[in-house]
Each structure stands twice: as C-alpha cells, then as structure tokens.
C-alpha cells in the first residue's frame, strides 16, 4: 500500500510539534505523536542531518524510515544566532517543543523555555535527558544504557551465573519517549482548562524505573534485592519457554483456573490438586520442579501439537516470533499490524503499523521519512514562516539552513 495523503487525520490532527534533538528518545516521542496525527516538524543540522539516518543494520540502514515517518524536515544550524532566531520563530507557531539535548543547551542558545513561553504562553516544552534537568547528575552524559542500568533493568536481565545483560532493543530510550508522549498528552489536556503550557522534565532512568514493578517496594518492606533469574519470573509459575521436538513454546498458566486447564491438556489433571502446585504461592515455591514436569511433557510433542492443545484448552501460549514469522502470520495480516510502504529508492518496505487503533479518528502512516535534511525547507520557511525566496536562498548560501 502507499502512504495516505497528508490530509489524513488522526486523533492529534491539528497539533503542531517541533522536534529538536537527535538519535532515539526525543525522535521516538516525535514518531509516536506523528503517528497519532500531529504535524511534526523535525529540525536537523544542515548537511548530514540526524545521525539516525545512518544507524541500523543493512546497506542502506532503514531504521530512519521508521523513526522519522510522519515528519517534515527543516535544516537549521542551531549553533548560530540566525539559526536560533529561525527556530524561535518556528516554535512560536507550535503547540509542543520536544528537545533531548544536555540540560542547559536550550538556555545557551537563548531558547530557554521561560523565554519561549513568554512569546507563546500555550507552548508545552518536553525535555528529555539522561538524569533530568536538576540534581547532582543532571550534567552527565546519559544514553539509554545508562538509564537502563540506573533504573534497575540491566541488573535483573540475563542468567544468574553471568554478568548483567541487555534487552536487544534500545528500551530505555523508547520508554523515555513513550512516557514523554504520555506527559505531553496530559499537558495538552490540562491546557484546555488553564490555557497555559508547561515544561515536562523526562529522564531516561526514571522512565525505566516506572516499569520496574515492585522492585523498590520489595526492598523497602522485605529487604529483597531482585537478581537475574534467566528465563523465569521468580515465584510466577508456570511461565516459561518449554522445549518441544522441533523448537520452543512459551506457556503462561500461573493463574489457578488456567493451570487446571493446562493440567487437563497434559492429561495429568491430578497436578492441579497436588499440594505442591495447588495455588499460586505453592507453584512459586516449587517452580523449578513444575517446569521440569512440563518440559518432560512438551519434549514429546512438536510446537504445532502443543499450540493446538493450548488453543483448545484456552491456555495462553505461543511461539517466539522473529520478523520472518510476523510478516507471514495470518493474524498480523488480518489486523494490518505490518504496513508495506512504497519507497521511491528502497521499493516496498515493511514496518510496524501505527498503534493503538482508533474507531473514529484512525491514525495512519501519512508520509515517508524525509529523504534528506531540509526536504521541507521551502514549505516550512516559505509558507509557514513566510520568508521570501531571496532570504531563504541567502540562509542556504551561508549554511544556516
């Protein structure tokens, strides 16, 4: 399919966002808002643009095509006074500014949020950084891995007999972008009552901390320090991947009624009445023993056979998907979870569709990622800011854009 027309609306249609910064956290926040219908104008450095254009695997890499979709690009050198003035004028037209520079950078460029909001009181400024805008670590350089470590995630990921591992995606950056988008939507809602914008201070480490469940509370009340547990969640059983004759199958049956249905599927209904496995707490205490019993059963079957049994007995379970399985799965196809876009240079390119779904204001991929930095200079600087052509030409000649 081709991308939808620029006029295709989503629930955030009419919201203008200026995205500053680069790499992952801020741009992912911009992607989420753009996917939901916002007009996202991305400011890139003239020339090379955002380094994300060159990140990823394959030649050419295609990560940019995902994180920069539904955006327009304007190239502005923010380190020069003329570029800062252009950015200021653009921000005056916006509802939201996203920036993920080191704290103090906007102030150094004379783009401090309090000054911007003097000229645009409704402006919402979302600031993403490693450690937040204040505190003793604020000026430290913070990438996603640091946030994942400080937020507690790295320490508990991996096998107990090995050093801390990592999730295979930039989860700290993505969480920070997601929580920032949530904060922006909350601020937009509040603005409808107050008529005023505000500053959102979002940090990588606190975004990771938000998904750490009861990790801090466990320590506070019981002195428990969570450690790496490999493929299991300690005390949650059965919930694991189990070996079959031709692969592995994941089963989650830790709730009592579901566990009874799993036992029936295994043709071992007596396990549900066994004192070792009769309730959630008992199964957690005998987790390793229960996993061995289930593994002994799954080893005698194929993945397909186990899948049929889990479906027929209403037990949550499934294969572990790679991209290969995703693009050929009938459920993905029926829900259009994967969208195929026609790219002028790459040809058909498949990527995740917009989520979640909206019944009345569907959100769609409206435009491809900008092909080069400043692709939309003319329409943004000329049409939106009403700069005359000779002024745009002069800015380009001097390298400001």
Q: Which residue among 323, 351, 366 closes a domain?
A: 323
Query: Across residues 11-37, what is the average pLDDT?
Result: 96
- What's the pLDDT score for residue 142? 86
Whether residue 9 is predicted with pLDDT greater than 90 in this model: the reply is no
Nearest Cα neighbor of 235 from 286, 185, 187, 200 is: 286
Any residues with CB less than 8 A from the CB of 155 and at least 6 apart, and which? 149, 164, 226, 227, 228
Q: What are the tens digits of pLDDT across the range 185-232?
A: 999 999 999 999 999 999 999 999 999 999 999 999 999 999 999 888
pLDDT, position 345: 94
272 and 379 in a single domain? The answer is no
The answer to the question of residue 218 being in a domain is no
Q: Three-state DSSP class for 165?
A: coil
Which CATH number fits the domain that encloses residue 281?
3.30.1540.10
Look at the chain and report how many structural domains it folds into: 2
> Mapping DSSP to helix (H, G, I), strand (E, B) and coil, where does residue 87 land?
helix
Q: What is the pLDDT of residue 126?
A: 98
- Distance from C-alpha of 11 to C-alpha of 13, rounded to nearest angstrom: 6
- pLDDT tens sequence across 146-182: 999 999 999 999 999 999 988 999 999 999 999 999 9
Domain range holding 378? 16-211+336-397
Residue partners of 255: CB distance under 8 A and separation at least 6:
280
Whether the CB-CB separation of 272 and 280 falls below 8 Å is answered with no
| Cα 112 to Cα 117: distance, rounded to the nearest angstrom | 9
DSSP state of 346: T
Say what the pTM is: 0.92
Residues 183 and 255 in one domain: no
Torsion on CA atoms 205, 209, 215, 218, rounded to nearest 10: 100
Last residue in a domain, options 323, 356, 377: 323
> Mean pLDDT for the chain?
95
- Catalytic-residue membership of 173: yes
Average pLDDT value for residue range 283-287: 96
* Cα–Cα distances in angstroms (integers) from residue 170 to residues 247, 313, 375, in the given order: 27, 36, 27
- The DSSP output letter for 382 is I
Q: Which of 35, 173, 201, 274 is catalytic?
A: 173
């Amino acid at each position: 399919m081709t991308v939808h027309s620029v006029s295709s609306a989503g629930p955030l249609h009419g919201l203008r966002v200026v995205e500053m910064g680069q790499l992952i956290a801020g741009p992912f926040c911009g992607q989420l808002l753009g996917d939901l219908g916002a007009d996202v104008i991305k400011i890139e450095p003239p020339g090379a643009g955002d380094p994300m254009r060159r990140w990823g695997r394959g030649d050419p890499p295609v990560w940019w095509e995902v994180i920069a979709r539904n955006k327009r690009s304007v190239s502005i050198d923010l380190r020069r006074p003329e570029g800062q003035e252009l950015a200021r004028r653009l921000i005056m037209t916006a509802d939201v500014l996203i920036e993920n520079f080191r704290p103090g950078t906007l102030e150094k460029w004379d783009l401090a949020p309090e000054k911007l909001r003097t000229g645009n009181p409704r402006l919402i400024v979302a600031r993403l950084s490693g450690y937040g805008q204040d505190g003793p670590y604020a000026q430290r350089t913070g990438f996603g891995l640091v946030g994942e470590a400080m937020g507690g995630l790295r320490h508990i990921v991996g096998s107990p007999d090995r050093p801390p591992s990592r999730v295979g995606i930039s989860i700290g950056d993505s969480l920070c972008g997601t929580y920032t988008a949530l904060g922006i939507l909350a601020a937009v809602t509040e603005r409808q009552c107050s008529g005023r914008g505000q500053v959102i201070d979002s940090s990588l480490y606190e975004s990771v901390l938000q998904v750490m469940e009861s990790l801090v509370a466990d320590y506070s009340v019981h002195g428990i320090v969570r450690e790496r547990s490999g493929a299991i969640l300690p005390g949650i059983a059965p919930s694991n991947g189990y070996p079959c004759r031709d692969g592995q199958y994941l089963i989650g049956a830790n709730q009592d009624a579901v566990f009874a249905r799993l036992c029936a599927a295994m043709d071992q209904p007596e396990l549900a009445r066994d004192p070792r496995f009769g309730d959630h707490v008992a199964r957690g205490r005998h987790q390793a023993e229960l996993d061995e019993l289930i593994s002994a059963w799954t080893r005698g079957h194929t993945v397909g056979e186990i899948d049929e049994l889990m479906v027929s007995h209403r037990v949550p379970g499934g294969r572990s998907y790679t991209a290969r399985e995703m693009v050929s799965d009938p459920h993905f196809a029926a829900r259009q979870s994967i969208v195929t876009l026609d790219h002028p240079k790459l040809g058909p390119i498949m990527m995740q569709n917009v989520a979640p779904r909206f019944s009345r204001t569907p959100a769609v991929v409206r435009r491809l990622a900008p092909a080069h930095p400043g692709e939309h200079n003319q329409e943004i600087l000329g049409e939106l800011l009403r700069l005359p052509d000779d002024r745009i030409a002069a800015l380009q000649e001097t390298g400001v854009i």
